[in-house]
Chains A and B, each alone.
Chain A
Amino acid sequence: MDTSPIVGDDSPSGDATLGREGFDWSQTPLGAVEHWSDELRSVVARSIAARGSVSAHPSRLRDSETRLQMALDAAAMGTFVWHVPEARAELDSRMLALLGLRASDPLSMSPAISALIHPDDRQRFSAALRDACDPRGDGLLRQDIRVVLADGTLRWLGVNAKVQFEGSPREATRMSGAAVDISERKNLEAALRENTLRVQTIISQAATGVVEADASGRMTLVNRRWCEMLGYDEGELLGMNIAAVTHPESVDPTLEAVRRLAKGGPDFEIEKKYCRKDGSILIATSSVSAIRGPSGEYRGLIAIVVDITSRKHAEEALRQSEERFRQFGDASSDVLWLRDVSTYRWIYLSKAFESIYGVPCEELIADEDAHRWLNIVLAEDRDAVSTALERVRQGAKVTFEFRIRRPNDGEVRWIHETAFPVIDPRGAIRRIGGIGQDVSEEKHTSGRLQVLVEELQHRTRNIVAVVRSLSNKTLEESTTLEDFQQRFNERLGAVSRTQGLLSRLEEGQRITFDELLDTELSAHRTANVKSQLKLQGPPGVRLRSSELQTLALAIHELVTNALKYGALSTPAGALSIRWHLLTDRSGVRRLYVDWRESGVQIDDARKQAGGYGRELIERALPYQMQAETTYELGNDGVHCTIAVPISTTMRRAFAAD
């Protein structure tokens, strides 16, 4: 069997004859193949090819006449010859069938055709017909036209014909042609067009950006949303490379991903930054698919782009907000915490927890039994803690205190807790939160403060009692109100000077004997009798604060008497005050003071015999200070000795009187 030149070879080869296929073309209006011109051969071949599917399977036509017949039947190709001068047409049976005509119908071409051709195509077809018949032309007719059959069916026909010219001047004599039903192809094309239009509409209306680019990255299709996202016009974007609108940060990752795609890699999604026309940044996710040719070669890409800028900004704002919160939490010396309202599980615990509770935060957060932490709370406080948390779950803000025993060192700490419900936007309580403060120090300090306040109260009341007693004593001695006033004020002065000295002391400090003596002598304005005074003794002998008052009063009385009646009352008098330290047999260190007046008229000296000063020295100092004292009224004045135990402790915190 020979190959089929009709379908296998589009070129009108002179040797190849359609007749060899065994199909009896002589029975058709076109007559035997051997009489066909080259043009007619190719016209017929093209008509068969126009049916489309047939040409894809040329082998079907190769073997036999039957097969060719089948092919022609399948192609539903009708043939016709139009005798131009007589306007007479010869149509074969398939042509008649294509036009929905019967053999008995009149075969006058023009009216038949005019009646059949769809009104929209009539004019075009007539013009093409005229052109084909023009002797100056090539005589070829190729038209796709619609015909409307008698039953209303619309059918597309692909018409190919060749006009022969004869005579001189040349005239069209005969047109030979073929027509095939191309309705299916036309419908497919229409559907395809419709589909394409629909896709284009979807793309252009899409809420996401759609961009198509060729293999070099130049944009070949952009939709409206994509233009809006970037702030460019469609005209500006088309032809621009995608890299040109990509943020420098994202260029390399994008190129790398596209390179993999071009090498046959899978479609991918990438989160990247673009630069808008106004310079601002667009953050987007792009879903990128490859466009590949028939043999799989990379031709470009289509990207679906979603703007996530605002989402990213919200995420970033949230991240920053959480970071700030975390930093506050880390910096806080209080424990900040969040717990799930139903399971009590810890959601957040700030760093301070570890130092206050002595348990790593992770350990607690990981613990599925969220009630176990109560074991850290002292047993007697657990019920109160549970009750308080339960009230928070019910929606109350609760402040409470409890104690914990730290597992790591066993130390008991006081916690001051403020717990509150965390209410979500819908008003539901999903979490409870709290701020826990370690108030152990405050508790301790307030205890100390309480002690201090009591001590102060004790001292103040004691001084008032002493002053009362002094006033009674002075009242007993006084003969007149003026007398009372003077003596009382002097004694009150001694009391307040002692308080003044004590108040300037830091904790652990002591008043020294020379300080005390100096204070009392200065207060009595002894400067003008300085030559009569002889002081001798070491500085820095520390006195017990609790006993200072009585010693000061005693010295006050001695000085007052010396000025009034004794050694300092007469230019002939002299006062010698000597002191030194002694350690007695039992190891007690004492300050030994020797007070000796001389040059005093004994009559005057006698006046002070029963004074308050003497009582203080002889009775008060021994009573209160375990002092050993002597008091003598000699021939020329008072001689008095005082031996008092002195302060040996460096520190006596809150030394109470």
Chain B
Amino acid sequence: MEPLLEGCKILVVEDEYVLAMELHSSLESAGATVIGPVGSIDDALSVLEHANELDAAVLDVNLRGQKVFAVADALEERGVPFIFTTGYGRSAFPERYANVPRCEKPFEAQALAHALQDHLKHRSH
């Protein structure tokens, strides 16, 4: 895979192990350093507290029946860009996240990497 995300520190929040592993390996192969992955909101918030330089995050929307929006809000507060991975349609999202990119499951690792890179570029301009 192209090193699209060379040197980026990316937090992965995904409760399904096999998906978390897959995300992990595909992000690393795109050159990123993966923080996590973590499978719960509490773990994600705890990682956020301790992580210094976070470039981006990939958030699974549904974590063991809980919505990930608390984590999204914390990221927003810190100015960390993020994208959602989800099996839900658009209507499940609150209005305030209308502009957040979504990767609908199942997705190609390449597509996710591109989406992340686009989002990062867009944010830095």
Contacts and interface: CB of A to CB of B under 8 A. Distances in A.
Interface of A: 450, 454, 457-462, 464-466, 468-470, 472-473, 546, 550, 616, 619-620, 623-624, 652, 655-657
A465 B16 contact: yes
B39 interface: yes
Given A464-B105, A464-B106, A465-B105, A473 B18 contact: yes
B88 interface: yes
Main secondary structure of the interface of A (DSSP, over half): helix
A652 B87 CA distance: 20
A475 to B, nearest CB: 12
A415 B111 CA distance: 46
22 contacts: A454-B88, A458-B62, A458-B86, A461-B87, A461-B106, A462-B16, A465-B16, A465-B105, A466-B16, A468-B106, A469-B22, A472-B22, A473-B18, A546-B64, A623-B37, A624-B17, A652-B65, A655-B65, A656-B62, A656-B64, A657-B64, A657-B65
Given A458-B87, A465-B87, A465-B106, 15 more contacts: A454-B89, A458-B62, A458-B86, A458-B88, A461-B104, A461-B105, A465-B18, A466-B18, A619-B17, A623-B39, A624-B16, A624-B39, A652-B65, A656-B64, A657-B65
A460 B16 CA distance: 13
A656 B17 contact: no
Interface in B80-94: 86-89, 91-92
Interface of B: 15-22, 37, 39, 62, 64-65, 86-89, 91-92, 104-107
Contacts of B37: 623
Contacts of B19: 462, 465-466, 469
A329 B105 CA distance: 52
A457 B16 contact: no
Contacts of B107: 465
Given A464-B105, A465-B105, A623 B86 contact: no
Nearest to A654: B65
A561 to B, nearest CB: 18
A472 B88 CA distance: 24
Contact of B65 (A470, A546, A620): A546
A623 B106 contact: no
A543 to B, nearest CB: 14
A468 B18 CA distance: 9
Nearest to B63: A656
Residue of A457, A619, A623 with highest tally of chain B CB at under 10 A: A623
A479 B15 CA distance: 30
A469 B85 CA distance: 15
Contacts of A616: 17
A550 B105 contact: no
Most buried by A among B15, B21, B87, B107: B87
B24 to A, nearest CB: 11
Contacts of A657: 15-16, 62, 64-65
A190 B71 CA distance: 121
Contacts of A462: 16, 19, 87, 105
A70 to B, nearest CB: 122
A521 to B, nearest CB: 23
B65 A469 contact: no
B27 to A, nearest CB: 14
Contact of A470 (B18, B39, B62): B18
Nearest to B17: A620
Contacts of B15: 624, 657
Contacts of B89: 454, 457
A473 B20 CA distance: 13
Contacts of B20: 623
Nearest to A620: B17
A450 B89 CA distance: 11
Contacts of B92: 454
A473 B92 CA distance: 31
A469 B87 contact: no
A465 B88 CA distance: 13
Nearest to A619: B17
A576 to B, nearest CB: 27
B64 to A, nearest CB: 6
